[in-house]
Each structure stands twice: as structure tokens, then as C-alpha cells.
Amino acid sequence: MEKHKFEELKTKDKIGVLFVCLGNICRSPAAEAMFRTVVEQRGDSARFELDSAGTTAYHSGQQPDKRMRVHALQRGIRLEHVCRRVQADDFERFDVIVGMDASNLQNLRQMAPSVEAARKIVGMAEFFSAGSRYDCVPDPYYEGAEGFELVLDLLDEACVNLYEELTV
Ligand code: 4NP
């Protein structure tokens, strides 16, 4: 895990974090809910504004994918998000915009309205623990149960590491 320059955020009253994937029905709503669990467990909810969005509008208005809801619930995490697409003002509202894979990052960089806005974009894999075999959170949509479990395992460690980078 590389060290990030989140120093200026640590003094803010509220830190906005937006999690982004392609469809906003599998990976990013799970990341949002997992990160929310981390901050709740640490009694730090008031300091965070959290949301998730997709680079496409394919599933706008839908609830998260049933398979992801079932796998997350097995870990005690309830997904209650309503799917939406990334919009221009997200780059103002949020301090950190976290893409799940290289394609999400490329799309986000194309959407960023300014160089300053583009600096808010980071990859979730930057928060995997050192020595991880993965360099992204892989799309589970066409995978079986093990694909969803892998996503949740990767998000579990990345959310804790991201929280620590933003706060410690
Ligand atoms: P997500 O997964 O990006 O993790 O929400 C996907 C959801 C839907 C599709 C692809 C990936 N799709 O092609 O509809």
C-alpha cells in the first residue's frame, strides 16, 4: 500500500468519499456499506459523507444486485443504496473518489471537470495490503459466488486501510 497525501483532509470537519464502479449495483454499493460499517464501529460516522455511483446509468434507480446483497448480508452488511450514475457535481461534493478498477479510473479521469478534480481520484487497489495478489476489485457480474466473496474480501481490507489513511 502506498502512502497517500490526505494530510489536508484530516483537519476537515467532514470528509466526503464516493465509491465508483461500472454499474453501481455490485462493487461500489458494497464498498460504501463496508466503509460505513468501519466508521460506525469506530464511532466516527459524523465525520464522513459516503455515497456510491456508477460510470454508466444502466441500472439507475435499481437496488443493488441480489447476489451482492445476499453475500454482504452473510457478513452482517445490509446494502440499501439506490443506483445512480456519477454526475459532474460529485467532483465538488466529494474529497476522495475511489474507482474499483482501471476502466473505472479511466472513465472517471475523462469525466473530471478540472485537473484539481482529477486529483481526487484514487484506485481501491491502492489500499490493498502489501503483497496483495490483486491490482483491482474485479467485476463479479458474470462470475459465480466466489467472485462476490472475493470482492467482499478485497473491500474488507481496503476499507480499513483507507479509513486509517484518512484519519491516522
Ligand atoms: P458493478 O458490476 O460495476 O460492480 O456494479 C456490474 C454491474 C452491471 C454490469 C456490469 C458490471 N452490467 O454489464 O450490466
Residue-by-residue pLDDT tens, the chain, 168 positions: 556 778 889 889 999 999 999 999 999 999 999 999 999 999 999 999 999 999 999 999 999 999 999 999 999 999 999 999 999 999 999 999 999 999 999 999 999 999 999 999 999 999 999 999 999 999 999 999 999 999 999 999 999 999 999 998
Report how far ligand 1's centroid is from the alpha carbon of 141 (Å): 5
Question: Residue 101 and residue 124: Cα distance in Å, rounded?
Answer: 8
Helix (H, G, I), strand (E, B) or coil at 145: helix
Query: CA neighbours within 13 Å on the CB side: how many for 51?
Result: 17
Query: For residue 60, how far is the Cα from the chain centroid?
Result: 17
Report how far ligand 1's centroid is from the alpha carbon of 54 (Å): 9
* Residue 148 CB burial class (10 angstroms; 0-12, 13-18, ≥19): buried
Question: Residue 124 and residue 122: Cα distance in Å, rounded?
Answer: 7
